[in-house]
């Protein structure tokens, strides 16, 4: 049974293997993607213990209001899905919605590593995240996905997502964070 944990240095090797998988998979890697930004910032040193610790510290700090971040970004908490010490995926919750997040990005973002997909991990990960989102004072949470992203649609709908509308390519759902 996988656990949702706060980012931790002990899964460095499998996290980095998962990044390689995502790079091969390719679909998530555009210049603005989270992985692309992490690679730009930490890719030269996160294979070392100290470099990866720095990266993990950055993820923890990113949940605090005063951490340095681009003006367009908001505080964000991240959790990793881990089973038997192996990294499977990540999910994060933005603490507030700015204009762009309200329109397109939503509160929550997630990815399951390509080799672990279609085993129910994203569905379980979102369900496991909701109490944390609730504890951040968010209810309901906005989740968005591309209209063509069937898997993500199913994940959001399985969590009780109620479709508000479709804006451009994005479906926008409100997911209650209490009571599942
Ligand atoms: C979207 C994503 C997180 C789904 O992860 P996952 O662990 O494979 O999802 P699950 O196993 O929980 O599957 C959820 C549902 O989607 C279906 N599904 C999964 N992958 C699918 C695919 N490629 N095509 C069609 N359906 C798919 C599953 O069969 C399941 O359906 P069910 O509820 O009817 O049984 C994963 O594909 C991913 O990381 N994609 C790239 C990043 C991304 O798109 N993130 C979301 C941004 S909004």
Centre of ligand 1 from the C-alpha of residue 64, in Å: 30
Strand order in the sheet with 76-83: 3-5, 76-83, 86-94, 108-112
**What would the two tokens of residue 108 be?**
């929550």
pLDDT digits (tens, 9 = 90+) for 53-106: 999 999 999 999 999 998 999 999 999 999 999 999 999 999 999 999 999 999
Residue 49 lies in a domain: yes
* Average pLDDT along the chain: 95
Q: Rounded distance, CA 21 to CA 2, Å? A: 19
Atom of ligand 1 nearest to the CA of 121: 7
pLDDT digits (tens, 9 = 90+) for 133-147: 999 999 999 999 999
Phi, psi angle pair for 66, to nearest 5°: -95, 5
Strands (E) across 10-121 are located at: 76-83, 86-94, 108-112
The count of domains in the chain is 1
Residue whose Cα lies nearest atom 16 of ligand 1: it is: 151
Domain carrying residue 113: 3-137
Domain harbouring 68, CATH code? 3.40.630.30
Q: Within 13 Å of residue 69, how many CA atoms lie on the same side as its CB? A: 18
């Amino acid at each position: 049974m996988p656990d949702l944990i706060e980012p931790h240095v002990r899964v460095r090797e499998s996290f980095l293997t998962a990044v390689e998988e995502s790079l091969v998979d390719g679909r998530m890697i555009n210049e603005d993607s989270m992985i692309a930004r992490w690679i730009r910032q930490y890719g030269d040193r996160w294979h070392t213990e100290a470099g990866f610790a720095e990266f993990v510290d950055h993820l923890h700090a990113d949940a605090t209001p005063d951490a340095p971040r681009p003006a367009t970004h908001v505080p964000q908490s991240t959790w990793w899905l881990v089973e038997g010490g192996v990294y499977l995926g990540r999910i994060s919750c933005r603490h507030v919605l700015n204009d762009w997040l309200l329109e397109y990005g939503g509160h929550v973002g997630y990815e399951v590593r390509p080799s672990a997909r279609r085993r129910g991990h994203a569905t379980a990960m979102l369900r496991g995240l909701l109490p944390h989102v609730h504890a951040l004072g968010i209810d309901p949470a906005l989740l968005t996905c591309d209209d063509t992203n069937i898997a993500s649609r199913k994940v959001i709908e399985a969590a009780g997502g109620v479709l508000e509308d479709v804006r451009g390519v994005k479906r926008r759902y409100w997911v209650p964070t209490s009571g599942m």
